[in-house]
Amino acid sequence: MKLEAAVSAFLDHAADEAGLSPATIDAYRRDLARFQAWCRDSDIESVEAVSIVEVRSFAAAEHRRGLDPRSVQRRLSGLRRLFRYLRREGIVEADPVQGVRAPKARRKLPEVLDVDQVLALLDIPEEDDLAVRDRAMLELFYASGLRVSELAGLGWNRLDLFEGLVRVVGKGRRERLVPMGRHAVRALERWRRIQAPIAGVGDSRVFTSLKGRPLGVRAIQKRVAYWSRRQGLDQNVHPHQLRHSFASHILESSGDLRAVQELLGHANLTTTQIYTHLDFQHLARVYDETHPRARKSTKDPEASSDQ
């Protein structure tokens, strides 16, 4: 089967049957287009001609041209989905991607805000309708640890302001129920009174412009960055930092990694475990700053010796 036809059939299947999000399908389309281009340069026309040797060569070529290990991993993920589909359809007998690993990625810990920084960011003076909306948005981000895409797509029908709960549809269309806290509830109630005459009736989006148009991801990112500057933080905060901060602060207080996994909507606990590294870094820093045996004295001759 021609590679181009196989990729086209897989993408149609992913869109119509697999229940993947449009963003995921677009990512697969871009990654598979890159693989097709490499195959054309290598005179490979059919899926049957792709073996583990070709897949390894493709991954190595992508790495050599400067692609970071995480991006190479994403390329291989798209290929795995493609050949899994082709095997299931009986188009190929073997999976040439099986056993191929990308170069090891250096694990980058997410940046988090400390509690004082978060409180400073959320202390937005509600001097106009936009400020009321944005405060509700930031309060909900931090209170519930939502992804920016989840917040952008959130409808009022997903909020229970009386119980203080938000029902979120996350990655893989997995649904989870997350508390929001009284500060977020009160901020949302204030915004709803302003938005109600703008949005009209029905299950409208929670966060809209003052003309009733839903805010997209990019618009939300810009508002978060605006308030981080306006509130005097020494960095441009992005929405995912509030999600990371939410997770880190919950774990720091409770030590319950499984609960953090549920709140964040991670399918796999290993994804959540990155926050244990953050928590350890915090503990190590506190130890270094406070423990008598950790602090070095300039009066101690051994502190500067090479022994």
Give the residue numbers annotated as catalytic, written as ranges.
Answer: 147, 171, 240, 243, 266, 275
Cα torsion at 288, 291, 296, 297 (round to 10°)?
A: 140
Q: What angle do CA 291, 294, 296 make, to 5 degrees?
A: 120
- Geometric angle at alpha carbon 245, from 227 and 185, rounded to 5°: 65
Q: Which of 214, 216, 220, 218 is nearest to 198 (CA)?
A: 214
Closest CA to 174 of 201, 138, 147: 147
Cα 157 from Cα 170, distance rounded (Å) = 16
- Give the residue ranges of DSSP H helices in the chain: 3-16, 22-41, 52-64, 69-88, 115-122, 129-144, 148-152, 181-199, 217-230, 239-254, 257-264, 269-272, 274-290
